[in-house]
Amino acid sequence: GTTRRYKFHIKYQNITRLCTTKTILTVNGKFPGPPIVAREGDRVVVKVVNHVRNNVTIHWHGVRQLRSGWYDGPAYITQCPIQTGQTYVYNFTITNQIGTLLWHAHLSWLRATLYGPIIILPRRNDSYPFPKPYKEIPIILGDWFNADPLAVIAQALQTGAPPNVSDAHTINGLPGFLYNCSSKSKDTFKLKVKPGKTYLLRVINAALNDNLYFSIANHTLTAVNVDANYIKPFETDTILITPGQTTNLLLKTKPHFPNATFLIAARPFFVGLATIDNSTTVALLEYKPKHSNTTNKTNPLPLFSPSLPSINDTNFAFNFTNGLKSLGSSNFPTNVPQKVDKRFFFTIGQGTSPCPLNQTCQGPTNTTKFSASINNVSDSLPTTAMLQAHYFGRPNGVYTTDFPENPLDPFNYTGAPPNNTNVSNGTKVVVLRFNTSVEFVLQDTSILGAESHPLHLHGHDFFVVGQGVGNYDPSRDPAKFNLVDPVQRNTLAVPAGGWAAIRFLADNPGVWFMHCHFDVHASWGLAMTWIVLDGELPNQKLPPPPPDLPRC
Ligand code: C2O
């Protein structure tokens, strides 16, 4: 492979959306940020220079980082933040991954404006397992906050109340014309296509807190790849995509100029009690006629709109998620671990924790604040990087290795509240020996209401071998696991009020964060950390840290 070099200057830029001009943090002045483009097997070297007052880190979401965990990027997990004036050079190789991923800041809510696509093409002489598309286009779904997103979460954490929601969703940084104060010409992304062609849309959900439906009026979409893994072609009118997920779609345009324009729309899928930004962002699919006199400027073309599923359509969500299967061809085999060395059962969800004494909280009651947890542990980030502490054998005061393998207090997880709201704070890890084959069940709980959480694992892809609604039943459900062609990905939507079972091989030594990719839930502690130990052989060990690794 070749080496692809990039410079990311973190700097301020004035951006106007919804009639609000704000100074936001950007990479190189761009919003969304610039794409990283590489071929499978290439080395990617990104020099990140911090020109702003905030500390920052960049995470290459979904990149396996095999034996390069120093470059993964989550603040206080694998590195200390890059401080004002400092530089850190990320340096990693793309191994066995083809498709779309994303990069984003990984500190507090900085990723609200610091994000961009990672486009991974096949090796030079390799091809896609489908005919080569005419053109490839990234479609990044995101948000716009009129307020400063860092202030939004800081205030929420201080009061114990839920944070304010975003003011708009965006497509390639633009909210679309359905919002007050936005126009068709300036604020709406236009996807210009020719008739009779196949386009590859690289759809990324970079929104902070919303699972999104995505659809294009009067066009069928064929999903062919998720999270940089090929899947069996899956035809649908609408996809569901959680924060942190990516989906490559083939879009076949109409054979002839259709005398119409088509709306592209995204809006949330949500089940739960919280207030969310349920607004719709749109873009336009515009056909270019062969002869431009076919369009009549004074008499605009009719505009067709897609019909998206209703906001809480759990059946659609379950069937869509269940419908995605690994491609499993001879070139792209599915290597599901067939045996399991270690099993875990994790309850996930929102709950409450006690309001500190002498403070009035604005949680569900004035003596509680919102928090979130895995197995009753609400994760707190340490003030130094866990990977350094692990590598140099100094975990004391940074983390403990007693993360519970099962919930501390089993209860009827999907039954009616009140129930197990007991949460303790901690920085606890699970330690795995190199090459451990792991199976874990993520069980959603309805302590404050069932919800579909997007869980993301760093440093590994995993197989989703099963999912169901209600409480997981260890005596019956494993018999139904798909160990043949389960989808492989790095972020999954755990069914609302249900469970999902995952398998992965812990073959990447390092310290790996796993968390809800709703930033509000991660901020409330819905996170945990895995440590994968070095193996015996030299090529099974994490190399030492680079000299420019930031210090806390
Ligand atoms: Cu995309 Cu830890 O996140």
ipTM: 0.99
- Where does 128-332 sit in CATH, by number? 2.60.40.420
Q: Regarding the domain delimited by 1-127, which CATH topology (the fold level of the hierarchy) does it fall under?
A: Immunoglobulin-like (2.60.40)
Burial class (CB in 10 A: 0-12, 13-18, 19+), 4: middle
pLDDT of amino acid 532: 98
DSSP 302-327: PEE---PPPTT-HHHHHHHHHH-BB-
Residue among 112, 43, 66 at smallest CA distance from 510: 66
At 409, the pLDDT band (50, 70, 90 cuts) reads confident
Average per-residue pLDDT for the chain = 96
Task: Give CATH 2.60.40.420 domain extents, the chain.
Answer: 1-127, 128-332, 342-540
361 Cα to the center of ligand 1, angstroms: 29
User: Cβ < 6 Å from ligand 1: which residues?
Assistant: 59, 61, 74, 104, 106, 244, 456, 458, 513, 515, 517
Which ligand 1 atom sits nearest the alpha carbon of residue 61? 1
Q: CA torsion, points 387, 388, 391, 393, in degrees to nearest 10? A: -120
Average pLDDT rounded to a whole number, residues 229-250? 98
Flag whether pLDDT at 214 surpasses 80: yes
Give the residue whose CA is nearest to atom 1 of ligand 1.
61
Q: What are phi and psi of 251, to 5 degrees?
A: -120, 115
Flag whether pLDDT at 187 surpasses 80: yes
Average pLDDT rounded to a whole number, residues 95-110? 98
What residue type is 359 in one-letter code? Q
Name 500's bridge partners.
442, 467
At 419, the pLDDT band (50, 70, 90 cuts) reads low
Average pLDDT rounded to a whole number, residues 181-207? 97
pLDDT of amino acid 448: 83
492 Cα to the center of ligand 1, angstroms: 12
| Residues 436-489: tens digit of each pLDDT | 999 999 999 988 889 999 999 999 999 999 999 999 999 999 999 999 999 999
- Which value, in Å, is the radius of gyration of the alpha carbons in the chain? 23
Which ligand 1 atom sits nearest the alpha carbon of residue 515? 2
352 Cα to the center of ligand 1, angstroms: 24
Name 104's bridge partners.
59, 115
CB 282 within 8 A of CB 177: yes
| Residues 312-347: tens digit of each pLDDT | 999 999 999 999 999 999 999 999 999 999 999 999
517 Cα to the center of ligand 1, angstroms: 6
Superfamily designation of domain 342-540: Cupredoxins -  blue copper proteins (2.60.40.420)
| Residues 38-56: tens digit of each pLDDT | 999 999 999 999 999 999 9
Average pLDDT rounded to a whole number, residues 105-118? 98
